[in-house]
A and B are shown apart, each in its own frame.
Chain A
Amino acid sequence: MNDQRPVAIVIFIFLVGLVLLTKLFLIQVMDDSFMKKAERNAIQRVVDHPYRGLVYDRNGKLLVYNNPIFDLMLVPKEFEVGDTTKFLELFKISKEELIEAYEAARKYSYVKPSPLIKQISTTEFARMQDYLIDYPGLFIMTRSVRSYPLPIAAHALGYIGEINARQLERDSTNYYVQGDYTGLSGMERFYEEELRGNKGVKYKMVNVRGVDKGPFKDGEYDTASVAGKNITSTIDMELQRYGEMLMSGKKGSVVAIEPKTGEILAMISAPFYDPNDLTGSEFSKTYRSLNSDESKPLFNRPIMATYPPGSIFKVVQSLIGLQEGVLTPETTFACNKSLVACHNHPSPVNLFGAIRNSCNPYYHQAFRQIINQEVSSNTYKDTEIGLNAWRENVLKFGLGGRLGVDMPNEKGGDVPSSKYYDRFYGEGRWKYSTIYSLSIGQGEMLVTPLQMANLAAIFANKGYYYTPHLVKAVDGDPGQIPGKYQIKNEVGVDAHHFDMIQDAMAQALYGTATRAIIKDIEIAGKTGTAQNPHGEDHSVFVAFAPKNDPKIAIAVYVENAGWGGRAAASTASLMIEKYIRKEITRPELEKYVLAGNFIY
């Protein structure tokens, strides 16, 4: 009767084994989600942040470094205070602060560290270090923030901050994660990849309470971080500092370039701010206040502000006219004030005189020669052809488009083409009389201070330029800088045409900018006034020096400071002397600039 029952029991035993093994097969072999869950449980990815590269000035002086700051951390589980009074005395905190910090730490985690005292100075840290051994559960955590030995060059150097959502989305390399720091402006942004280095990753095991249980697989999958590369900037720290001193309390730009290389020696955007304020825990607070400041201290004027080039553009007009053969040094025009206003000077003038005196009617007439070369019998057509041909020539001077400086957000300015006037007036409905204000650098033209400084470099170099840049070497190697900064750009005007131009610019100082004259250093310069419909005109001056062997080309903009011969010319002159002579021999001029009363 019971014979089949043992067999049933045996079948049941096999069935149990089969069901268990099947279910085990399903979760162990078929389903790998448990492996991922296990990794999430027990393996913690710890990112090893690399040391960000330093930035030096052209003479090897430190501009940007990493400053370690120390946080005293507390692990509640291990923490034993012993003699409380002594503890409070040693660590200089109140009993209430200690209790509050401890409660907060307990609330966060019993076994993970929480900050007890934040941002301890290096000296305090050194003092505390000796006592730490007596207090289990306390340790120092080091972080680093960007620091600047001198509070200068904020705009050129830029700042770093937490990466934002849009940048994260655009990061195709998937290098960054939320909370990472990245260069947000200036060189910090442009050379982010060089400066940042490469993150390392350590995998460590943790138990259910998050306590470290050592490296995963003995560190087999760990990678070491690679420190960022140091960058040598083209900036001359002393010149930059001096320029910022001169520009303090004013609005405007100073850009100084070494003509032979395109290296930017100084780049000042006023008003400026102390770059040390845009670091660490102060970042968001400072950023908000700077961003809402009406004088726009975050606005990087040398590359973002655009102005009409004004009289300085007459030099470019002269060079194009000479190259085109429509002007010669002997070409003479009368200073006919019925064409366009001018100040009083001898008339008629030749080209030299026109530059020296900045004669507006001369260029009104000379520009017509450039534009209307009678290629077409139709005046309108002829003007269109002439304008576009002229525009091509102007673009070669680095105008009307971004130069490509190594900073983000550069503006290109504007040089209008026939299309612009077609759109505005209709095709075939404009001619020279419509566009004549271009002749003296007014009208629809816009340039940045950087482009103006580059013009000065072109005048100094007699017809070529290197794209202005801020980087001199990467990791001490000049060969690692971007290739485009090593290419010579010709402007298409023969060198001999510049001789007379340079002479005229040197002479111009005696007419329009006597304040700029320095004994023993021959400066070639040109004043300008950028018209400002909203208030007092902007004072502009471009120059290079010494005339025979140019070491520095400079453009200075002082906003709302009126005529170029005063504020801008004086500032440029002081900058030139500072750079070439390393000292200032005219304290009264320095006082004049610092006082800042240019309108009278």
Chain B
Amino acid sequence: MRESDIQINRVDWLVVAIYFALVIFGWFNIYAAVYDSQAPQSMFDMSINSGQQLVRIGISVVLIVLIMVADYRFFENLSLFIYLFFIALLVVTPFIGKEVNGQVLTVGFGSFRIQPGEFAKLATALALAKVMERPTFDLSKTKNQLVAFGVLLLPVALILLQPDTGTAMVYFSLLVMFYREGFPQRYYILGFGFIALTLLALGIENNLYLVAGIGLIILILILMGKKTWQRIVVFSLIGVGMIAYSYSIDFVVSKLPEHQQNRIMVLFNPNLDPLGVGWNVTQSKIAIGSGGLLGKGYLEGTQTKFDFVPEQHTDFIFCTLGEEFGWVGSLVVIGLFVTLLVRLVIMAERQKTRFSRIYGYGVISILLFHFMINIAMTIGLFPVVGIPLPFFSYGGSSLWSFTIMLFIFVKMDSSRAMQLGRLG
């Protein structure tokens, strides 16, 4: 009894408040997304999304209570079991799951269905924390890198079989956590350079500009350092390699079937095909853009509730918010996410065990990726990938998995005083 009292006092109430603010705000937006002014239904009506989401929120609260009263060592001790359980579930999903639009995402019975892919994220974060917990675990060593990437790539491979590219991508967000834990910086520089070069090669119509740009940068790098002939040769080779790569990208794209080419090109210019591939982004931007500074007012939006935006209550829920609450609404939600993420960084840094710090960064990584990519895709900054906005989007699996993921960390944080002695 005394023990739990202490824990309650140590709960980070800011995170809890932001969580509930996002969930409730999300719930209002889910109602708005399906609201029909001609046949208004109660927000609590179980036949519509908002009613069902309310039940899921209720279940989430139960989950939160269960997590908070559980022993703080529970998840740490069971982390590998949890991981293996969901890996096993992912393995069997294609065989026992339900097929929708060519994807097999869910398992369950009757109307109760969950997406193992959603829960496997938190299981992977737990497992990685467990694996990387040892003080001697140094991510600059190749052996350790192989172990960490093995744990990471196993679920990715299984999810790609479903296939669910969007969810699979999310796992790579854990590279943020790897970064914190000492994965060498040069890989990130290489990675970002690679991505930037790819995007530029695709985005810039005339490759000569790109060649000129690469040439100029290489030249500056050569001139800035010592002018030994080895250095000049190495930099020149790098430059040639970059140019060759950018041309090869264009070559590969031109060999792709036309509809896949379109998918890529629409990212750079949605107006190329506003009724086809660009439809989602075009309509999503119209919905958000028409919100103006203050929005059209709650339940007054026209683009989302009249189905101009597809998936408006799940992956495109941000459109409803942008349309009805305007830029100020966007500011509030983005502000809440940024505050939450920064708060989680502060919390992760104050953990007394490597396990809980690594897990904390896992949570940060996954939330950051979802938040960034989901909103970026609704405003045309990123291609459309089907991943939900945490706490906000409609859907049980995503809400529950994010809730469990976040509150396991909140629980760890509230128990950090008791972990004092175990600090390695």
Which A residues are within 8 Å of any B CB, using their own CB?
A: 1-2, 5-6, 8-10, 12-14, 16-17, 19-21, 23-25, 27-29, 31-35, 37-39, 41-43, 205-209, 213-214
25 contacts between A and B (CB under 8 A): A6-B348, A6-B349, A9-B176, A12-B176, A13-B345, A17-B335, A20-B379, A24-B322, A24-B330, A27-B285, A28-B288, A28-B330, A29-B293, A31-B289, A34-B290, A35-B292, A38-B286, A41-B283, A41-B286, A41-B308, A205-B37, A207-B305, A208-B306, A213-B38, A214-B38
Please tell me which one of the listed residues B283, B290, B323, B371 contacts residue A16 in the complex, with CB atoms under 8 A apart.
B371
A38 with B292: in contact, given A13-B341, A43-B302 (CB under 8 Å)? no
Kindly state the separation between the CA atoms of A28 and B295 in the bound complex, as whole angstroms: 9
B336 to chain A, nearest CB (A): 10
User: Apart from A1-B182, A28-B327, A38-B286, what 11 extra A-B contacts exist at CB < 8 Å?
Assistant: A9-B180, A14-B338, A38-B287, A41-B283, A41-B286, A41-B303, A41-B306, A42-B308, A43-B302, A205-B306, A213-B306
Partner of A2 from the list B182, B341, B372, B381 (CB cut-off 8 Å) is B182
Q: Does B96 contact A (CB under 8 A)?
A: no
Residues of B contacting A24 in the complex (Cβ-Cβ under 8 angstroms): 288, 322, 327, 330, 334, 379
Q: Report how far A108 CA is from B182 CA in the complex, Å.
A: 63
Which residues of the other chain, B, contact A8 by a CB distance below 8 angstroms?
Answer: 179
Q: Check A28 against B289 for contact (C-beta < 8 Å).
A: yes
Chain B, range 9-58, C-beta contacts under 8 Å to A: 36-38
Given contacts A20-B372, A208-B308, contact A9 B292 (CB under 8 A): no
CB distance from A593 to the nearest CB of B (A): 67
Across-interface contacts of A9 in B (CB, < 8 A)? 176, 179-180, 345, 364
List B contacts of A31 (CB < 8 A): 289
Given contacts A20-B334, A20-B379, A41-B308, contact A35 B302 (CB under 8 A): no
Give Cα distance in the complex from A301 to B323, angstroms: 64
Chain A residue with the shortest CB-CB distance to B330: A24
Chain A residue numbers with a CB within 8 Å of B348 are 6
* Cα distance, A213 to B36, chains bound together (Å): 8
Inside 8 A of A34's CB, which chain B residues have their CB?
285-286, 288-290
Q: Tally of A-B residue pairs with Cβ under 8 A?
A: 122
Q: How far is the CB of A25 from chain B (nearest CB, A)?
A: 6
Tell me if B390 counts as interface (CB < 8 A to partner A). no
CA distance A14 to B343 in the complex (A): 12
Complex Cα distance, B326 from A29, in Å, reads: 8
A187 CB → nearest B CB, Å: 44
**Is B379 a contact partner of A17 (Cβ separation < 8 A)?**
no
Instruction: Report how far A17 CA is from B308 CA in the complex, Å.
Output: 27
B337 at the interface (CB under 8 A from A): yes
In the assembled complex, the Cα of A21 lies from the Cα of B332 at a distance in Å of 10
Encoded as 1 (CB less than 8 Å from any A CB) or 0, chain B from 262 to 284 comes to 00000000000000000000010
B375 within 8 A of A: yes
B94 at the interface (CB under 8 A from A): no
Q: How far apart sit A21 and B291, CA to CA, in the bound complex (Å)?
A: 14
CA distance A23 to B308 in the complex (A): 21
Interfacial chain B residues near A205, Cβ < 8 Å: 37, 302, 306
Which A residue's beta carbon lies closest to that of B357? A6
**B342 close to A (CB within 8 Å):** yes
B71 within 8 A of A: no
CB distance from A54 to the nearest CB of B (A): 37
Q: Which residue of A lies closest to B293 (CB)?
A: A29
A212 to chain B, nearest CB (A): 8
- Give 9 closest A-B pairs by Cβ, nearest first: A34-B289, A38-B290, A207-B306, A42-B302, A17-B338, A27-B289, A28-B327, A208-B307, A35-B290
Smallest beta-carbon distance B296→chain A, Å: 9
- Inside 8 A of A43's CB, which chain B residues have their CB? 302
Q: Hey, which chain A residues are within 8 Å of B182, CB to CB?
A: 1-2
For the complex, give the distance between the alpha carbons of A19 and B334 in Å. Answer: 11
Nearest opposing residue in chain B for A40, CB measure: B286
Q: Are A25 and B372 in contact (CB under 8 A)?
A: no
Residues on A with C-beta less than 8 A from B323 are 38
- Complex Cα distance, B330 from A9, in Å, reads 22
Q: Is residue B331 within 8 Å, beta carbon to beta carbon, of the partner chain?
A: yes
Tell whether, in the assembled complex, residue A206 and residue B306 are in contact, meaning their CB atoms are under 8 Å apart.
Answer: yes
Q: B364-385: which have CB < 8 Å to A? A: 364, 368, 371-372, 375-376, 379, 381
- A13 to B361 CA separation, bound complex (whole angstroms): 13
- Residue ID in chain A nearest B179 by CB atoms: A5
Residues on A with beta carbons closer than 8 Å to the beta carbon of B289: 27-28, 31, 33-35, 37-38
A524 to B380, CA, bound (A): 89
Cβ distance A10 to chain B, nearest Cβ, rounded Å? 5
Known contacts A13-B368, A17-B335, A31-B289: does B327 contact A38 (CB below 8 Å)? no
- Of B176, B290, B293, B364, which is within 8 A of A37 by CB? B290
- Whether A209 pairs with B368 at a CB distance below 8 angstroms is no
A477 CB to nearest chain B CB (Å): 44
Whether B290 contacts A13 by the Cβ 8 Å rule is no
Question: A23: which B residues are within 8 A, CB to CB?
Answer: 379, 381
Contacts A2-B180, A2-B182 hold; do A13 and B338 have CB atoms under 8 A apart? yes
Q: A209: nearest residue on chain B (CB-CB)?
A: B307
Residue in contact with A21 in the complex, picked from B179, B181, B331, CB distance below 8 Å: B331
Residues of chain B within 8 A (CB-CB) of A39 are 290
Docked complex Cα distance between A379 and B124 (Å): 122
Known: A5-B179, A29-B327, A213-B306. A10 touches B334 (CB 8 A): no
The complex places the Cα of A165 from the Cα of B215 at a distance, in Å, of: 59
Which chain B residue shows the least CB distance to A16? B372
Q: Give the Cβ gap from A210 to chain B, nearest Cβ, in Å.
A: 10
Most buried by B among A14, A34, A207: A34
- Pick from A10, A14, A20, A37: contact of B376, CB under 8 Å: A20
Inter-subunit contact B368/A16 (CB<8 Å): yes
Selected contact of B306 from candidates A16, A28, A29, A42, CB within 8 Å? A42
In the assembled complex, the Cα of A10 lies from the Cα of B340 at a distance in Å of: 11
Q: In the complex, what distance in Å separates the CA atom of A5 from the CA atom of B338?
A: 17
**From B308, which residue of chain A is reached at the shortest CB distance?**
A208
How far, in whole Å, are A17 and B348 apart by their CA atoms in the complex?
20
Q: Hey, which chain A residues are within 8 Å of B368, CB to CB?
A: 13, 16
Partner of B302, one of A6, A17, A41: A41
Q: Which B residues between 295 and 329 are near A, CB-CB below 8 angstroms? A: 302-303, 305-308, 322-323, 326-327
Counting chain A CB atoms within 10 Å of each CB, which of B283, B286, B322, B348 scores highest? Answer: B286
Could you tell me if A38 and B302 are in contact, using CB atoms closer than 8 angstroms? Answer: yes
Rounded to whole angstroms, the CA-CA distance of A205 and B381 in the bound complex is 30
Chain B residues with Cβ below 8 Å from A12 are 176
Complex Cα distance A154/B120, Å?
A: 83
CB-contact partner of B37 in A6, A10, A214, under 8 A: A214
Kindly provide the distance from the CB of A239 to the nearest chain B CB, expressed in whole angstroms.
Answer: 57
User: A31 CA to B180 CA in the complex, in Å?
Assistant: 39
> Beyond A17-B337, A20-B372, is A28–B293 a contact (Cβ under 8 Å)?
yes
